[in-house]
Structure 1
Amino acid sequence: MPEGAAASTPRPLPADGTVLAFDYGEKKIGVALGNFITREARPLVILPNPTVEARFEAVAALVREWAPVRFVVGMPVNPDGGEQPSMRLARRFGNQLNGRFGLPVEWVDERYTSRLAQMAGYRPGELDAEAARLILQQYFDQHPL
């Protein structure tokens, strides 16, 4: 768990419910959707990230539409495991999700997700949502039933 993150202790996994995952970027945010029954993630949308207000209006619309029980946020860790500047931004975004929507936030090491999406042939307009899908699928895979 990253220092200063919203979640401080592991939470029991629900048996059911929708999960929204985010690949946070300063210009755009990839979003994926999954649930605890199928434990499969799919890319959902890429949100523009022009301002804090616009960011959270778009996220609020997704929360209203999908009624998630949890958020997952990718944490961009350096290959050597060290912190990088984008980690602070992702951590702040996750903490703001928790504060604004009152839902638990889990963190996933997102090293290489964008590169894996690129290598799989996803185009630039699809990369962020696919990276979010990879983050969410990793979360499901790391938390077996």
Structure 2
Amino acid sequence: MSGLAPVSSAPMAMKKDLCFLAFDFGQKRTGVATGNSLLREARALTTIAAEGDARFPRIAALIAEWQPDALVVGVPFHPDGVPHEMTRRARRFARQLQGRFALPVHEVDERYSTTEALRSGAADVDAASAAVILDQFLHTLSA
């Protein structure tokens, strides 16, 4: 991977107010949320309805607009913690983000994020799921 830092699931040490973009990866739709380390709250932004490489121009525009310090990707597992096909695909997406945008990428176990988003009555479930994922990540950060 040509000198890039590995995709991480470890918490970040906090030195300033950091901005994050989070992604709930799906093959046809990817939810996006934003948040920062100061407020430690995530906000649903949008859903990118695109497949494969077609999603990356939209992601590039969001990165240019929000200028995040790092990215967060939800990685799905079966309820018992066993990985499956979408686990592999989400991790590949995380590596692609890191390679394309040269930003740190953190993985978060996203089990039940969609259930939480549905329970909240969100109009955009994919973006709300990304916000749930980012909330989980923000609560792991050191003060």
With normalisation by structure 2, the TM-score equals 0.90
Gaps in structure 2 of 5+ consecutive residues: 1-5
CA distance in 2, matches of 1:25, 1:14: 32
> Displacement of 1:11 after TM fit?
4.3
CA distance in 1, matches of 2:63, 2:140: 24
> Equivalent residues in 2 for 1:1-145 (5 A)?
6-7=7-8, 11-52=12-53, 54-123=54-123, 126-145=124-143
Counterparts in 2 of 1:20 and 1:83: CA distance versus 1, 3 Å: same
CA distance in 1, matches of 2:120, 2:36: 24
Percent of aligned positions that are identical: 44
Gaps in structure 1 of 5+ consecutive residues: none
Counterparts in 2 of 1:66 and 1:83: CA distance versus 1, 3 Å: same
CA distance in 1, matches of 2:9, 2:110: 19
Structure with greater contact order relative to length (CA < 8 Å, sep ≥ 6): 2
Contact 2:14 2:142 in 1 (8 A): no
RMSD of aligned Cα (Å): 1.6
> Displacement of 1:88 after TM fit?
0.7
> Displacement of 1:121 after TM fit?
1.7
> Displacement of 1:9 after TM fit?
6.1
